Structure 1
Amino acid sequence: MQPFRVLAATACPLPMANVDTDQLIPARFMSRPRSAGYGDFLLHDLRAGPDGAPLPDFPLNRPERAGAGILVARRNFGSGSSREAAAYALVDGGFRCVLAPSFGDIFSSNAVNNGLLPARLEETAAEALLGWLEAGGLEVVVDLEACTVSAGEQRWPFAVDPVWRTKLLNGWSDVDLTMSHAAAIEGFARVDQARRPWAWLPEGTGTG
């Protein structure tokens, strides 16, 4: 997974609350393999009309938002079902960060495990940023090291779980995070083996 430090990218406003995982990717598109990519189905039923044609006024369809890497939404983003495909759709659609006042817990965990930053902005900051984008602002800078978001002359702090921040900064999976404590784990094992030798199998003994 690619480390996330500072991201300067076009941002897309999505002034909606309670965007759930069923909206992020409708279930009927989840039968395809992960390797085929899910980006084309991101927010499909909101972005397209009944005939499947893109709705020109939907934020993600606007030409000036093409290639956006940051999505800005309102509270409770990623609520609903636990489908990891919602994170796949965002990542495959080119997004590396979602900024919102709050997120669904399972969505947030899935996002981090796929290299996507769920950054929590205060509601007033989110509204200010949405207003700036809807007035024509484009590039936003997300600094995970400083935990700040900058847009034009404005700057706001954001919050993210410290363990998730560590994983994203280093591009680590859960296994990588565990292995970063390898020396401490080995030290504990040595001390514990000396203190409780009866709890350890003799060296070279297999488990059958």
Structure 2
Amino acid sequence: MKVKIVHDDAPVLLVGGGEVDQQVLAAALPAAGQVVAADGGAAQVLALGRMPDAVYGDMDSLAPEVQAQLDDGVLRAIPEQNSTDFDKCLRHIEAPLVFGYGFLGHRLDHQLAAMTVLVKHPDRRCLLIGAEDVVMVCPPHLSLDLPGGTRFSLYPMAPVTGRSNGLHWPIDGLAFTPAGTIGTSNTVDGPVRLHMDGPAMLLILPVACLSALLAGLADAPETWPALG
């Protein structure tokens, strides 16, 4: 059975069942057009008085009494066990940007799985936002205006190369791999310019840089093509 996809020309808010600051989520909800929940994330959305527009997942962590609160057509069960609930959601959202809450923190295995999904769907521009960090796949080109000394981390999920300006340790000429050269704990010296040669590099910034990151993404419309 084909599952209905969420289409929007505006950013979509995606909420998982992991660690979320309820005050932060409450502030984000009013600005969202459509709100999607990953399985148990529906409970977090409902608790703040918002009905999700769609809930995707295998529903193994969404209690029956919570499912009963959802409007008709909101619950979109995908029973297969070969992908995570985050994957199920991201591949069923078509929007220029997805803000993901509830996917960082609490359990390391869940965080690692979420990072894998990000690089599995590089054509779906998604920011995962946690208490400390914001994480996304580096687009092909990105310019950021960040304060000097800002923590700037790059982590390869597969072999990848690129070029940079404005970083204390430039990345030009480096062959990044998960089990070799990585780019964590770099710092900003001036306006940052990044050029990546493939969709395999994660950008990890302090969550305080979210506004600057959004400004940079507004000027970086190019995205990676879908894999495969």
Max radius of gyration: which structure? 1
Q: Same fold (TM over 0.5)?
A: no
Higher RCO, 1 or 2 (CA under 8 Å, sep at least 6)? 1
Q: As a proportion of its length, which structure holds more helix? A: 1
